[in-house]
Amino acid sequence: MKKVVNWFLCIMLLVIATTACSLPTSGDRKGASARDEAEDTNKYNAYIELSNQINGGFYDSIFSIYVNEFGLEQEIYMDDKFDGFSTTPFIPSIIEGAGKTLNFASAEPSYGVTDEKVKELMPIIIDMMNANNDIQSYYTAKTYVDDKFEQGRELHKRFISLFEKYIEVGQQFNEEFAEITYERKYAEAEKLKDADMLIRYHALRIVLGAQEIQEAFYNKGVGDDNILDFDVKEYEGLYQSLTEDIEHYFEYSQDADRRKKEEWATIPVFKMSIEGVKVTATDILRILREQNPEINSDTEGKVTTGGRNAILSSFDRKVSFLVDGYNNSIRITVVD
């Protein structure tokens, strides 16, 4: 039986822009101040990317392929019907990029304990990437047929030993970095609001509101199996805040003058992701109010295979899509 892994709370994090990008009409930071801010932003965003990679992103998905196939024990798990294995190799540029992330841990400004965790985590990840590539080569060449899995067992022990460290140190990194991101994402929102960048403000608030819903369920230990245990009144407050920001975002983003002032490009993928989150957030509200855990607009009227209604898992996926859409939106340069 294959083991499915889901190690971290998969909340994708937000990149931030420099002041010049977040607040397009400002420009009062120059010289050393601007360089310091740019260096801080680059480092912060590199750590954001790392967090997203290990929390449901590319690193996590590739590492999980192997564990799902062969298990977590030191001795390799082999299915009786085993007929080969394939995974996705890490190309040199990705491994090089992981090395660059490691370099940020020694760069200014200091992030304290978070830097130390990155210094500990990245060598583990790089070693896992190389082990993953050796595993891919081994199974692609079908060497296991000739050596009766002798090298395969050694590769397995090597990978699982690294994987255990990856989970342990990765969680420690998450906990340390969460303290930094929590402060910054809300401070960024207030800066936008104070500068009358209300499209950008409500776009960010939508993402934060959706993540607040994720965190609320996670912190209460509520998942798809026990969703009815969540307090409906608490959820109504979270839902109201989210939907108000959605309404304000669409209102302000229709104003051409404001879009020009804020240098905002409304990309279709972000609009679609907002709508997707809204639909599933509304389904969750109906589930709690009606005490019916089977409500799901995405599957309504469709033939399904039965099983539980994984509405919170669906919400998590949609929020990750939302974060990607937001991050892509703020990276776009608007030209008059």
Task: Give per-residue pLDDT as tens, 50-73.
Answer: 998 898 788 988 999 999 999 999
Last residue of a domain, one of 151, 176, 195: 195
Q: Is residue 194 within a helix (H) or strand (E), and if so which, with residue range?
A: helix 150-194
Enclosing H/E stretch for 206: helix 198-219
Find the range with the poorest average confidence among 3-12, 226-235, 268-277.
3-12
pLDDT at 107: 96
What is the reported pLDDT for 321?
87
Domain count, the chain: 2
Q: State whether 28 and 173 are in the same domain.
A: yes
- For residue 95, what are the CA distances in angstroms to 63, 114, 126, 131, 199? 14, 21, 6, 12, 37
Domain residues for 111? 1-195
Same domain, 146 and 234: no
Nearest to 57 by CA among 327, 321, 326, 298: 321
User: In this structure, are 137 and 230 located in the same domain?
Assistant: no
As given in the structure block, the two tokens for residue 248 are: 């304000």
CA distances (Å), 88 to each of 2, 59, 60, 62, in order?
A: 18, 10, 12, 7
- Residue 313 burial class via C-beta count within 10 angstroms: exposed 0-12, middle 13-18, buried 19 and up: middle
Q: What is the pLDDT of residue 21?
A: 37
pLDDT (tens digit per residue) in 148-205: 999 999 999 999 999 999 999 999 999 899 888 888 888 889 999 999 999 999 999 9
Same domain, 44 and 122: yes
Looking at residue 29, the DSSP 8-state letter turns out to be: -
pLDDT at residue 230 is higher than 50:
yes
Last residue of a domain, one of 195, 211, 229: 195
149 lies in the same domain as 237: no
CATH of the domain at 248: 1.20.120
Using the 3D structure, point to which of 195, 212, 231 is the last residue of a domain: 195
Q: Which two tokens stand for residue 36?
A: 């310091």
Q: Tell me, yes or no, whether 40 and 187 share the same domain.
A: yes
Cβ contacts of 106 within 8 Å, gap of 6 or more: 115, 119
pTM: 0.71
Residue 222 token pair? 């509520």
pLDDT digits (tens, 9 = 90+) for 81-136: 888 999 999 999 999 999 999 999 999 999 999 999 999 999 999 999 999 999 99
Residues 245 and 257 placed together within one structural domain of the fold: yes
Calpha distance 226→32 (Å, rounded): 53
Q: Are residues 165 and 86 in the same domain?
A: yes
CA 143 to chain CA centroid, Å, is 36
Per-chain mean pLDDT for the chain: 87
